[in-house]
Amino acid sequence: MEHTRLPPLDIMHKAVVERDTGFEGVFFIGVKTTGIFCRPDCRARMPKPQNIEFFPSAKEAVMEGYRACKICHPLELSGAVPQWLQPLLTLIEDNCDIALKDADLRSRNMDPVRVRRWFKKHHDMTFQAYLRARRVSQAFGQIKHHRTVTLAAFESGYNSLSGFASAFQEVTGFSPSRSSTGRKIVSLARILTPLGPMFAGASDEGVCLLEFNDRRMLDQQIKVLSARLEAEFVPGAHQHITVLERQLNEYFAGQRTQFTVPLFVPGTPFQKQVWQGLQQIPYGETRSYQAQAIHIGNPKAVRAVARVNGENRIGILIPCHRVIGKNGKLVGYGGGLWRKQYLLNLECSKKA
């Protein structure tokens, strides 16, 4: 079966042979001999090339009569929370001040090592560090809204002020007493998308970060933002992230062409001008770097525009994926060209 939204056959076959995770979400493989469809990086035994057909979406594979593989679970979003962990995450979300030790996990029939590994892989911190960060984030919000340090400490589950102060300093880099003197905390959360997990950051001003979690420069982006905002990034919920997740789901479902969640985009005047110009590229359309330079009234700044385009810290909402080379080819995208192609295909198909 042929699809115009798929990469060339030789590239897809190579990706399947190498179990390349970089093609997650770009295509799915249907195995004719078994009637099962899989992700490109499925660990199951490799089928012969003549027994494979490719689909641009899980939906189309299902419509052709294929069943989902029980090994790679292609109907689930990449990075989705496994079923065995879901009760624990629900417990944490409902009780931000909760403190759980290894014995508490075992009493819930959970292996502490398995839990630790999952949090380390998906949040780059241990389970206990995640809990501390959540509790400190809650306390910070209370102090910012004129709660005393003492009340914030005890309401966040700490039994001593010294223990609270130590944990607060470790997580944020500053003492609780400085929480109401201009320091910020940016809430950091993980959002699942059809193209893999993304990290979203938000302060009260708006969303300031949205990047795929495998972007090479993600750590540097967070460091730059942290210094510029004089803020610490701490895992936690935020109302802007809740709205962002809903609007992203609508976007990927083809039900939204514009985002209304507030954005907070610190930068130089030129950077802001370039990023504002990106937001003015209509949904489903593309422009070259040269066209963008002309659009912002600075036709000689093509290279500078391209550089600032690459410094964009809010993917999809500030749509740098809509900028292509002058010759019409895809160039430069921090999330990978395959994701850029997916987003352009999505928008063009929905616009049509």
Secondary-structure class of domain 9-68 per CATH: alpha beta
207: three-class secondary structure by DSSP: strand
Residues marked as catalytic: 320
Tens-digit pLDDT profile for residues 36-62: 999 988 988 888 889 999 998 777 887
- pLDDT band, residue 1 (cuts 50/70/90): very low
pLDDT digits (tens, 9 = 90+) for 181-202: 555 778 888 888 888 788 899 9
Query: What is the location of CATH 1.10.10.60 in the chain?
Result: 86-182
pTM exceeds 0.85, yes or no: no
Q: pLDDT tens digit string along 258-314?
A: 999 999 999 899 999 999 999 999 999 999 999 999 999 999 999 999 999 988 999
Q: Is 248 exposed, middle or buried (0-12, 13-18, 19+ CB in 10 A)?
A: buried
Residue 263: predicted pLDDT: 96
- Phi and psi (nearest 5°) for 270? -70, -45
Q: Is the pLDDT of residue 67 over 50?
A: yes
The answer to whether residues 313 and 221 touch, using CB atoms and an 8 Å cutoff, is: yes
Q: Give the 3-state secondary structure of residue 145.
A: coil
Average pLDDT over residues 162-171: 55
> Is 70 exceeded by the pLDDT of residue 156?
no
Angstrom distance (rounded) from CA 139 to CA 153: 6
DSSP 196: -
Phi, psi of 194 (to 5 degrees): -60, -15
- The whole-number average pLDDT for the span 1-16 is 75
Distance CA 342, CA 322 (A): 11
Residue 150: pLDDT band with limits 50, 70, 90? very low
In DSSP terms, which residues pair with 189 in a beta bridge? 200
Q: With contact defined as beta carbons under 8 Å apart, do 336 and 5 qualify?
A: no
pLDDT given at position 241: 93
Task: Find all residues with CB under 8 Å of 287, minimum gap 6, and list them.
Answer: 281, 295, 322, 323, 324
pLDDT at 162 > cutoff 90: no
Contact (Cβ atoms closer than 8 angstroms) between residue 168 and residue 151: no
The more confidently predicted of residues 246 and 65 is 246
Question: Which one is predicted more confidently, 324 or 222?
Answer: 324
In this structure, are residues 140 and 102 in contact, taking their beta carbons and an 8 Å threshold?
no
CATH number of the structural domain 189-351: 1.10.10.10
**Is beta strand 287-288 parallel, antiparallel or unpaired with respect to 323-324?**
parallel
For the chain, percent of residues with pLDDT exceeding 70: 81
Report the share of the chain in percent with pLDDT over 90.
29
Report the candidate in 244, 276, 284, 274 with the shortest Cα–Cα distance to residue 260: 244
* Span 121-144, average pLDDT: 68
Q: How many CA atoms lie within 13 A of 149 on its CB side?
A: 14
Tell me the pLDDT band of 170, cut-offs 50, 70 and 90.
low
DSSP state letters, 37-74:
EE-TT--SPPPPGGGEEEESSHHHHHHTTPEEPTTT-T
What average pLDDT does the segment 149-176 reach? 51
- Does residue 156 contact residue 164 with C-beta atoms inside 8 Å? yes
- Does residue 146 have a pLDDT over 50? no
At residue 183, the pLDDT reads 59
Beta bridge partners of 31: 36, 52
In CATH, which of 1.10.1660.10, 1.10.10.10, 3.50.50.60, 1.10.10.60 is domain 86-182?
A: 1.10.10.60
Using CA atoms, how far apart are residues 203 and 309, in angstroms rounded to an integer? 23
The percent helix, strand, coil of the chain (3-state, each to 5) is 45, 15, 40
Q: How far apart are CA 182 and CA 144, in angstroms?
A: 9
Every domain of the chain with CATH number 3.40.10.10 lies at: 9-68
Give the pLDDT score at 297. Answer: 92
CA distance 130 to 119: 8
For the chain, residues classed under CATH 1.10.10.10 are 189-351
Asked whether the beta carbons of 72 and 39 are under 8 A apart, the reply is yes
Per-chain mean pLDDT for the chain: 81
More confident residue, 317 or 147: 317
pLDDT (mean) for 335-347: 85
